[in-house]
Structure 1
Amino acid sequence: MSILRPLSVTMNDVSVQLTDLLADPALRLRPLTSHCHEGPRPIRWVASTELPDPLPFLRAGELMLTTAMLERSRSEWDDLLHRLAALPVAGLGFGTGLVHHEVPGYVVERAEHAGLALFGSPVEVPFVQISRWVADRVFAERYAQVRRTADVQDALLRELLSGRGLPGLLRRLHGHLDAGAVSVTAPDGRLLARHPAAPEAAAPGTPGTPGTPGTPGTPITVDGVPVARLATERTTARQDLLSFAASVLGLEVARQQAVLTGRRELLGQVVEDVVHRTVPDAEARRRLAAHGIDPAVPHAVVLARVPAGPARLRALPWTLGPLLDRGGDVLPTALVEDSVAVFVPEGVDADATAHTVLERLRAAGPGVRVGVGARRPGVAGLRLGWFEARQAGSTGAGVRTAAPLSLTGLLLGNLDLPLRELGDSVLAPLLRYDAEHGGELLRTLRTYLAHDARPAPAAEALTLHRNSLRHRLWRIEELTGRSLDRLDDRMELWLALHAREAGGEATG
Structure 2
Amino acid sequence: MATFLHEIVALPELGLTLLVPTAGPPRVGATVADDGSAPRAIEWAHGSDLDDPTPFLSPGHLLLTTGRQFDGYDAADYRRYVGRLVEAGVVGLGFGTEVVRAGTPPELVAACTTAGLPLVEIPYRTPFIAVARAIADREAAAARERVEWALAAQDALTRAVGRGGLSAAVAAAAEALTAEIWVFDADAGVLEHAGRAAREADAGRSAAEVAAEVLGRGRRARIREPFGEGTLLVQTLGASGRHPGAVAVARGEQLDAPAESVVSTLAALAELALEHADDLRTGHRSILQQLFELLREGRFDAVRRAAEVLGIELPSEPLTVVAVPLTSLTPAFRDRLERRSSPARARFAVARGAHLIVLVDAETATTERRMLDETRVPAGASAPGGWDELDGLVAQSLRALDRAAPGRSVGFDELTGDGLLGLLGAGSAPGTATARELARARLAPLRRTAEGREQLHAADVWLRHNGHWDPAARELGLHRHSLRLRIETLGATLGLALDTFPARAELWALLAASGSSSATAPPRIRPATSRREPT
Aligned counterpart, 2:16: 29
Contact 1:369 1:394 in 2 (8 A): yes
Q: Judging changes above 3 Å, is the alpha-carbon distance between structure 1 residues 372 and 353 closer, same or farther for their aligned structure 2 residues?
A: same
Cα distance in 1 between the residues matched to 2:116 and 2:192: 51
Residue 258 of structure 1 pairs with residue 274 of structure 2 = no
Q: Could you tell which deviates more after superposition, 390-399 or 252-261?
A: 390-399
Superimposed CA distance per residue, residues 308-332 of structure 1 (whole angstroms, 9 cap, x where no aligned partner)? 853423665874572xx6x8x8444
**Structure-1-length-normalised TM-score:** 0.52
Instruction: Kindly provide the amino acid, as one letter, of the partner of residue 262 in structure 1.
Output: G
Aligned counterpart, 1:19: 6
- Of all paired residues, the percent bearing the same amino acid is 24
Aligned residue-pair number: 345
Cα distance in 2 between the residues matched to 1:308 and 1:129: 74
Higher RCO (CA-CA < 8 Å; seq separation 6+) = 1
Contact 1:218 1:246 in 2 (8 A): no
SS at match of 1:93: strand
Contact 1:94 1:120 in 2 (8 A): yes
Contact 1:257 1:317 in 2 (8 A): no
SS at match of 1:151: helix
Cα distance in 1 between the residues matched to 2:84 and 2:325: 69
Q: Judging changes above 3 Å, is the alpha-carbon distance between structure 1 residues 236 and 261 closer, same or farther for their aligned structure 2 residues?
A: farther
Offset of 1:138 from its aligned partner? 0.9
Cα distance in 2 between the residues matched to 1:161 and 1:296: 38
Cα distance in 1 between the residues matched to 2:328 and 2:133: 61
Q: Larger C-alpha radius of gyration, 1 or 2?
A: 2
Cα distance in 2 between the residues matched to 1:255 and 1:380: 33
Contact 1:392 1:401 in 2 (8 A): no
Cα distance in 1 between the residues matched to 2:59 and 2:270: 37
Residue 367 of structure 1 pairs with residue 376 of structure 2 = yes
**Structure-2-length-normalised TM-score:** 0.50
Superimposed CA distance per residue, residues 365-408 of structure 1 (whole angstroms, 9 cap, x where no aligned partner)? 821222236889999989967864653456442344497888xx
Q: CA RMSD in A?
A: 5.1
SS at match of 1:334: strand
Q: Map 1:24-173 onto structure 2 (within 5 A).
A: 24-31=11-18, 33-35=19-21, 38-39=24-25, 42-71=41-70, 73-74=73-74, 75-85=76-86, 89-100=90-101, 102-122=103-123, 124-163=125-164, 165-166=166-167, 168-173=168-173
Offset of 1:231 from its aligned partner? 6.6
Contact 1:44 1:61 in 2 (8 A): yes
Superimposed CA distance per residue, residues 184-221 of structure 1 (whole angstroms, 9 cap, x where no aligned partner)? 68899987665579xxxxxxxxx9xxxxxx85954464
Aligned counterpart, 1:310: 330
Instruction: Kindly provide the amino acid, as one letter, of the partner of residue 368 in structure 1.
Output: V
Q: Map 1:314-333 onto structure 2 (within 5 A).
A: 319=339, 322=342, 330-333=346-349
2:357 aligned to 321, 338, 341, which one? 341
Contact 1:304 1:369 in 2 (8 A): yes
Q: Judging changes above 3 Å, is the alpha-carbon distance between structure 1 residues 378 and 195 closer, same or farther for their aligned structure 2 residues?
A: closer
Q: Judging changes above 3 Å, is the alpha-carbon distance between structure 1 residues 222 and 91 closer, same or farther for their aligned structure 2 residues?
A: closer
Aligned counterpart, 1:391: 402
**What are the ranges of 5 or more consecutive residues in structure 1 without an aligned counterpart?**
1-11, 198-206, 208-213, 271-287, 407-508
Superimposed CA distance per residue, residues 316-353 of structure 1 (whole angstroms, 9 cap, x where no aligned partner)? 5874572xx6x8x84442358996432x4xxx75x655
Offset of 1:144 from its aligned partner? 0.7
Q: Judging changes above 3 Å, is the alpha-carbon distance between structure 1 residues 238 and 360 closer, same or farther for their aligned structure 2 residues?
A: farther
Cα distance in 2 between the residues matched to 1:296 and 1:331: 19
SS at match of 2:279: helix
Superimposed CA distance per residue, residues 47-103 of structure 1 (whole angstroms, 9 cap, x where no aligned partner)? 223444333543444321123444573333212313434665342122344444543
SS at match of 2:295: coil
Instruction: Kindly provide the amino acid, as one letter, of the partner of residue 22 in structure 1.
Output: V
